Amino acid sequence: MVSKRLMGVWAFLDFSLMAAGIVAIVFSMVWREWNLLRQLVISPMDLTAGLALGIMLLVTFAFSIGAVIQPTRVTSGLVALNVMLIMDSVAVITIGSIVWFYTLRERANFAVAWAQQSPTIIVEMQNKLSCCGYFNSTNMVVNSGFCVDPTFAANQTACVDPVTAFADYTLNNVFTSIYGFQAIILCFFLATICVIKKRHEDERFRKIDAKRGGIPFV
């Protein structure tokens, strides 16, 4: 019989997986609300990927409940669960790595994002960050608001440092959290293997006992 300790660990990891899915979905929905700097750093595609990942994790959690309540002699559900966990793992590593790679060239990447913003948004960012332009005070600057005077604007700091500082903090937290999901998935995968192995052992001893006329083998 599978020990209570093993099943306790398995259940804890299962609910941790559920929590990870909920976190991914909640942040993907909450972060869709307008935020001046966040919309520059987190794209709608990023949020959709996070939402899809959260749904995958919750689907895996729901499937795990059905898999574990099967008769102890049946392990096909748990095997299928581990296949789903492998798929979850691939998704987590892919999304986390994409975010991580993006952080390696933040200054250049966000120069492109800055250039794609409307003049109104650039003015709002310049006002909020008290800076002018991107790489320097004459690069992609909009002379309005805080930077309305070209002479004044030319003597101000550029926006690249505050923008990338915010982006670095945000994206580092994002990919660190996503990689944290991987630890849950890996541990849950290993715990499920242990449950499968124990159930196979129990079934083997049950068959041996049956052949011995019901006399326990051990």
Q: 60-76: b or e for each residue (b if 16 or more CB lie within 10 Å)?
A: bbeebeebbeeeeeebe
**123-127 own/partner pairs: CB under 8 Å, 24+ apart:** 123/147, 124/36, 125/36, 125/37, 125/40, 125/159, 125/163, 126/159
**117-121 own/partner pairs: CB under 8 Å, 24+ apart:** 117/40, 119/144, 121/36
Q: What is the mean pLDDT of the chain?
A: 91
Confidence at residue 97, expressed as pLDDT on a 0 to 100 scale = 95
Confidence at residue 23, expressed as pLDDT on a 0 to 100 scale = 96
The answer for 40, left when phi > 0, alpha when psi is -120 to 50, beta otherwise, is alpha
Structural contact between residues 197 and 121, judged by C-beta atoms closer than 8 angstroms: no
For residue 7 the two structure tokens come to 């099943």
Domain ranges of the chain: 4-211
Q: Can you give the pLDDT of all 218 residues of the chain as single tens digits?
A: 667 898 999 999 999 999 999 999 999 999 999 999 999 999 999 999 999 999 999 999 999 999 999 887 788 999 999 999 999 999 999 999 999 999 999 999 999 999 999 999 999 999 999 999 999 998 999 999 999 998 998 899 999 999 999 999 999 999 999 999 999 999 999 999 999 998 877 667 566 656 666 555 44
Confidence at residue 92, expressed as pLDDT on a 0 to 100 scale = 97
Q: pLDDT by residue (tens digit) across 36-47?
A: 999 999 999 999
